[in-house]
Amino acid sequence: MSILDIRGLTVEFPSRKDVFTASRNVNLSVDAGKILGVVGESGAGKSTVGNAVIGLLENPGRIAEGEIHLDGKRIDNLAAESMRKLRGKRIGMIFQDPLTSLDPLQTIEFQLVETIRLHLPLSKTEARAHAVDLLDQVGIPNPEERIAQYPHQFSGGMRQRVVIALALCADPEVVIADEPTTALDVSIQAQILKLMKRLCEEKNVAMVVITHDMGVIADLTDHVAVMYRGDLVEYGESKQVLGAPKHPYTQSLIAAVPRPDVKVHRFPQVDYIEGSAKPFKQIDIGTHWLGKARDYKSVDGPLLDVKDITMKFLTKDAWISKNRQYFTALDKVSFDIHAGETFGLVGESGSGKSTMARVITGLYHPAGGTAHFAGQELTSLKDKKQVLAMRRQMQMIFQDPFSSLNSRMRVRDIVAEPIKFHKLASTNSEVNQIVDDLLEHVGLGIAAAAKFPHEFSGGQRQRISIARALATRPRFLVCDEPTSALDVSIQAQILNLLKDLQDELGLTMLFISHDLAVIRQMCNRTGVMRHGQLLEVADTEDLFDKPQHAYTRELLSLMPSMDGLSRQNLEEELA
């Protein structure tokens, strides 16, 4: 019999105007020692299911229908106090962000012992011994010493291990992990997944892993439930669901996952997903305003030539210059990008890849080195006219579509601002026409112009961001993790859009990502960065087939394999 049994769960969030149904008639069950994955995109209701199980639905959410059974006993109708006693003792919880799920003012020992003694009848010394034992089990070296430390003395991955230890400290029967590896780098993600799998088997715990990441599902779970807008659309053994998905949503979701092992020309048609993308209005690029982006005079050699760029951030100021302390974000980085190609920069967080983007676009001034763009030295540009001309040719697409648009401006004003500022059109009606064309071209439609950014979803906002970047008719586009804040299906749409625009307008791109699979789909050549240094630059296919640097090999080996994922719809796009 299954330990956790969810029957017909419907969760509603009544609001002022109507009732929002976050999950509708969901049936799930988990056996001891097994891992169930709940996968879906944002707003699918997967976290709601997890929160309903532990009785922590956010106000004003309520279970409208259905039952939740833990080891045969119904728990969804328990009083708040008995539910509290259940939490932590019989149901453990692992949260997404290890940086905020531990109390920064208390030692690890205090937090573990407190939780253990709350649930188990142990003395302080026994509880401490148990805590040390737990830390050892989750793979923290020197647990005897480290237990006395504070959370900030642990790295992100180590902290997530502590959070796992906390979840396991009363030997719960069920552990619910909500996006347990989303905030972690890929190398740490692999370790944490391995740990979770091992503990689940050793301790015979039933685990529910909520995630948006198909790779996590493929690597970790025995069963998987696919949710879409509150509905459970497919449920079964992971191998079965991933290898031969039946529901069209699952099919398009799996088709949209970038594969690390193959390169596709375009992502297969993603149906069944947010239909924001209106058909392109066909415009004749040759004669259109936008097409003039191609008219820049061509350059001999690379379009962008970066040499020995060094960037330092002040970490400790002092009156005497030699006492100042710096953090070296970029350490003599050199590469070049040729006209028309997409150059990728890949690395984990803190590797300096975003800093590089900001140095190139002039947001940061480097401490040393040179950057030539179309034969012009960038870092020493003084003349205002030249700076503006340069800014026009080079635009940037940012990571977070929610902070990259000014929420107080209408979309029309956002997209028109660069056109007006650079005086790229003579009359207001001309500006409006260009804005309309741009919005159509990125797949949004003219009606978008009169709205404010908050009326759009993440993917639509990223389209606005792209329209704004195109509004100066650039020839060089810097994309700084343009899709890492987006759902996988939206990511596929945006990446397709970027590819289309590049073909059409002959854009050169610097594409920054932490995701090797995305890099493989997008980039002609790729550089691997770590700790501010560029370790290796190679043609992307060569980099994946025969990596030269040890770190590149390590990164590649840590990627979730995605082997089990269906290749349906993918065949005709294979390169």
Residues lying near another protein in the complex (CB under 8 A) are found at 16, 229, 269-280, 358, 361-363, 387-388, 391-392, 394-396, 398-400, 403-409, 417-418, 421-422, 443-445, 447-448, 450-451, 455-457, 460, 465, 468, 472, 493, 496-497, 500
Q: From CA 293, how far away is CA 438, in angstroms rounded?
A: 13
Residue 17 Cβ, how far from another protein at the closest point, in Å?
8
Q: CB-based burial of residue 486 (10 Å sphere; 0-12 exposed, 13-18 middle, 19+ buried)?
A: buried
Nearer to another protein, 219 or 440 (CB): 440
Nearer to another protein, 309 or 411 (CB): 411
The strand ranges marked E within 86-149 are 91-94
The DSSP code sequence of 52-102 is: HHTT-PPTT-EEEEEEEEETTEE-TT--HHHHHHHBTTTEEEE-S-TTTSS
Nearer to another protein, 58 or 237 (CB): 58
Query: How far from 516 is each of 103, 180, 344, 524, CA to CA, in Å?
Result: 34, 20, 10, 13
Residues paired with residue 232 on neighbouring β-strands, in sequence order: 227
Nearer to another protein, 219 or 234 (CB): 234
φ, ψ for residue 391, nearest 5 deg: -60, -35
* Per-residue buried b or exposed e for 360-394, using 16+ beta carbons within 10 Å of the residue's own CB: bbbebebbebebbbbeeebbebeeeeeeeebbbbb
Residue 279 Cβ, how far from another protein at the closest point, in Å?
5
End-to-end CA distance of the chain: 47
* Per-residue buried b or exposed e for 319-345, using 16+ beta carbons within 10 Å of the residue's own CB: eeeeeeeeeebbbebebbbebebbbbb
Q: What interhelical angle do 156-168 and 108-119 show, nearest 10?
A: 20
Nearer to another protein, 496 or 508 (CB): 496
Residue 395 Cβ, how far from another protein at the closest point, in Å?
6
Q: What interhelical angle do 428-441 and 458-470 show, nearest 10?
A: 130
Nearer to another protein, 120 or 446 (CB): 446
The H or E element spanning position 551 is helix 550-558
The three-class DSSP label of residue 539 is strand
Residue 5 Cβ, how far from another protein at the closest point, in Å?
30
Cβ pair 530, 570 in contact under 8 A: no
Residue 34 Cβ, how far from another protein at the closest point, in Å?
33
Residue 361 Cβ, how far from another protein at the closest point, in Å?
5
Residue 400 Cβ, how far from another protein at the closest point, in Å?
6
Nearer to another protein, 101 or 489 (CB): 489
Tell me, what DSSP letter sits at residue 574?
Answer: B
Residues paired with residue 395 on neighbouring β-strands, in sequence order: 477
- C-alpha angle 475/538/521, rounded to 5°? 65
Whether residue 172 is preceded by a cis peptide bond, meaning omega within 30 degrees of 0, is no
Nearer to another protein, 107 or 457 (CB): 457
Those residues whose C-beta lies under 8 Å from the C-beta of residue 440, and which sit 6 or more positions away, are 278, 280, 281, 283, 446
φ, ψ for residue 212, nearest 5 deg: -105, 0
Q: From CA 68, how far away is CA 65, in angstroms rounded?
A: 10
Nearer to another protein, 313 or 421 (CB): 421
Residue 24 Cβ, how far from another protein at the closest point, in Å?
14
Residue 412 Cβ, how far from another protein at the closest point, in Å?
10
Nearer to another protein, 407 or 561 (CB): 407
Nearer to another protein, 129 or 447 (CB): 447
Residue 91 Cβ, how far from another protein at the closest point, in Å?
28
Residue 383 Cβ, how far from another protein at the closest point, in Å?
13
